[in-house]
Chains A and B, each alone.
Chain A
Amino acid sequence: GAGVSQSPSNKVTEKGKDVELRCDPISGHTALYWYRQSLGQGLEFLIYFQGNSAPDKSGLPSDRFSAERTGGSVSTLTIQRTQQEDSAVYLCASSLSVIRRISGINTDTQYFGPGTRLTVL
């Protein structure tokens, strides 16, 4: 079946411009995550959506970053007034978000999209 898709695959922008990155999760997945991977760094959590619940925005690095998820499916990550340090690969992931009933352990697998490589000049 279709996996997580992201667009655009590459984005080059000038400092100070706004950018929008799109994520289409796997159909039926209720959980959606955004991560950022800077050169030589590990993946950094940005934001999490689960169904109709309020998103967890605790990983967003500044108020220039925002995200929304319409209709519980497609998500858009917006970066306003981009800075050079925003240059990174932005990865989206989705999951079924299933929790084992007995142990209460969240065992769902997160499936990643191919990412959007953002370069801010």
Chain B
Amino acid sequence: RKEVEQDPGPFNVPEGATVAFNCTYSNSASQSFFWYRQDCRKEPKLLMSVYSSGNEDGRFTAQLNRASQYISLLIRDSKLSDSATYLCVVRGAGSYQLTFGKGTKLSVIP
């Protein structure tokens, strides 16, 4: 089992749609969770951290279920500018290494 697994995608959605990405992680000792965004041929950038039971930032909501080792990202009212690859990222307890999923590509269509 891969350490961090994500929906393979790609997701093609119309503007204004709500889209959800899922991610599972294999290391139950993982302590920190993140969603990064990566635009085509660009570096990954932190979208949001996910702590405890989850958090919301504008149109973006991240959820964490430690029992199921599952993380999700919900994007509401999607915009053209949301088109990117979304990376699920996990860090183990007391560790500095980030483990990345392969990412899910999102295309928001006019």
Cβ-defined contact, B102 with A41, below 8 A: yes
Number of interface residues of B (CB under 8 A): 22
A84 is an interface residue with CB less than 8 A from chain B: no
Q: Is the interface of B mostly helix, strand, loop or mixed?
A: strand
CB within 8 Å of A: which B71-110 residues: 87, 91, 93-103
Given A42-B100, A45-B97, A91-B43 contact (CB < 8 Å): yes
CB within 8 Å of B: which A87-112 residues: 91, 95, 97, 104-112
In the bound complex, residues from chain B placing their C-beta under 8 Å from that of A109 are 46, 49
A95 CA / B98 CA spacing, docked (Å): 12
Chain A residue nearest to B99 in the complex (CB): A45
A91 CA / B49 CA spacing, docked (Å): 20
Q: Which residues of B contact A (CB under 8 A)?
A: 4, 31-32, 42-46, 49, 87, 91, 93-103
